Structure 1
Amino acid sequence: MTSNLPIGPLLATVLLALVAYAALVAYAGGLGLHRQIVTASLRAALQLAAVSMIIAVVLRSGALTAVFVTLMYVVAAVTAGRRVSRERAGHRVAFTAIAAGVAPVLALLLLSGLVPLRGITVLPIAGILTGGAMTATSLAGRRALDELRTRHGEYEAGLALGLLPRDAALEVCRPSAAQALVPALDQTRTVGLVTLPGAFVGMLLGGAGPVQAGAVQLLVLIGLLAVQATATIVTIEFVAAGVVRPAAR
């Protein structure tokens, strides 16, 4: 891997080949996601091109950095909200869960001084944490609602035994929804052995030593666990409280 990736026809050709390969594999395997793979890839290319053009300007201003972080939060919440439920309440869940996960962790990192209050450090850390909260919220919400829909009889049995609606819902959906933390746990367990995550590689490419890069990556991974655990719990609580309900069967 190199920090001087050649930008030109070769890169475009390889990217197109990878998109085509991924789409063909999804199509041949009957996953039904081949079109989404293509559109997601195109969106990523356009969005990264736009961000690459404005990021240098954004990082020069604390106010612009704050606006960009807020934009990331809104986009993440809207995306997760759509995944959780087609109803407007899904957005309410996502906005609250992501904020509850990211805000205390980001505040701790900034107030402790471990993450300097500069755009070039705040923006990537905030993006990583927000992205992790978005993923956890989406997975936890969808799994919880799926469980309540498919195991509705067990939920009603819990009510018949005298459980409150919230407690009966938690008994049904909490174990499955907690699986939203599995990707983060696996990444943390295998870091350095199976994967070298972006923060570690980025620090090395930026000239930092291996120990410094490892310390930053550890801080990011542990922070992500805290963010995603909080977002997952908040999402499950919203589902159990009936703020969002399973789609009709």
Structure 2
Amino acid sequence: MIDSPLFDPALMRGLEQVAAALVLAAVVVGIVSLRGLALEREWGLAIGRGFVQIMLMGSVIALLLSVPVAASAFVILGMMLGGAWIAHSRAGEIPGAFRIATAGIVLGAGVVIVVMTAVGAIEARVRDLVPVGSMIVANGMKASSLALDRFGDEVETHREEIEATLALGVTPSRAIARHVERGVRAALIPTVDSMRSLGWVWIPGLMTGMILSGEDPIYAAEYQFVVMAMIFAAAGLASLTCGALVERYAFTDAHQLRSFHGES
């Protein structure tokens, strides 16, 4: 009989579940292809990439469980830089998009992780820091991506209006204030909607997992809210940071609106 961690019953059961999930995802991609929506390549690559990345991360975490907790800082920093690259790819036409996204994610997610670890909401262990930190970083990334994407659309749509406003002597910050505000608001819509529906429309996976593992449902609810509040704070700080930095890169020293087709 083969005795190997690779043939652990739990892992084999997980592979069966992965196969079932992939079949469902493949059906959706197939329908998209049949309808000619031209999204099957992007969606298919995203699903495949997501599977490979999450399996690699599981393997990395398994290895990190035996190393000092300080190693988790490097893992989280890598997540932040990866998140900034993904956010930049969605808003690459904005000058300095990668630098803006990096600052937003590092500040937004970094502050939340440090503060909540200091107060004990996140245990200072690799087992806790990396998974919880990844959720916070991912939501900081989403907020940065949405804020930059919306801001780019706003500027391209209202470029003539902004330039006319600048010609009247209005400062750059005032000329784009309304558009930055719309970007920040758009970035926070998913997080705000999640908070509104928490415990009513949906029970998040973390709370469900804690209850299934035997934790007290009330404590599971409390901790789930803590996590959602951390996600909200990270997303808010990230989007606000991106909004604050956009002006620096969107205008020249002569207060002229830059072309959004340069380097990012």
TM normalised by structure 1 equals: 0.88
Q: How far, CA to CA, are the matches of 1:48 and 1:65 in structure 2?
A: 16
Give the alignment of 1:97-136 within 5 angstroms. Answer: 97-136=104-143
Runs of 4 or more above 6 Å deviation: none
Alignment pair present for 1:52 and 2:65: no
1:43 Cα offset (Å): 1.1
Counterpart of 2:150 (choices 134, 143, 148) is 143
Given that 1:188 and 1:221 are in contact with CA atoms closer than 8 Å, whether structure 2 keeps it comes out as yes
1:17 alignment partner, one of 19, 23, 44: 23
| Cα distance change on mapping 1:171 and 1:22 into 2, 3 Å | same
Q: Secondary structure at the match of 1:51?
A: helix
What is the aligned-residue RMSD (CA, Å)? 2.2
The one-letter code matched in structure 2 to 1:94 is A
Shift of 1:173: 3.8
1:239, 1:218 → 2: CA distance? 31
Match of 2:240 among 233, 244, 248: 233
Matched, 1:184 2:191: yes
**Matches of 1:88 and 1:155, distance apart in 2:** 17
What is the rounded CA distance, in whole Å, between the counterparts of 1:206 and 1:246 in structure 2?
Answer: 54
Whole-angstrom distance in 2 between the partners of 1:213 and 1:29? 42
How far apart are the structure 1 equivalents of 2:183 and 2:123? Answer: 38
In the alignment, what sits opposite 1:42?
A: 48
**Offset at 1:83?**
1.7
State TM-score, norm by structure 2.
0.84
Q: Does 1:84 align with 2:91?
A: yes
One-letter amino acid of the counterpart of residue 20, structure 2: V
Moved more, 63-72 or 117-126: 63-72
Matched, 1:26 2:39: no
Percent identity, aligned pairs only? 27
Q: C-alpha displacement at 1:116, in angstroms?
A: 1.8
CA shift for structure 1 position 79: 1.2
Identify unmatched segments of 5+ residues in structure 2: 1-9, 252-257
Mapped to 2, the partners of 1:197 and 1:237 lie a distance apart of 32
Provide structure 1 residue ranges, at least 5 long, that are not aligned to the other structure. none
SS in 1 for 2:244: helix
The 1:186–1:14 alpha-carbon spacing in structure 2 relative to 1, beyond 3 Å, is: same
The 2-side partners of 1:18 and 1:67 are apart by 35
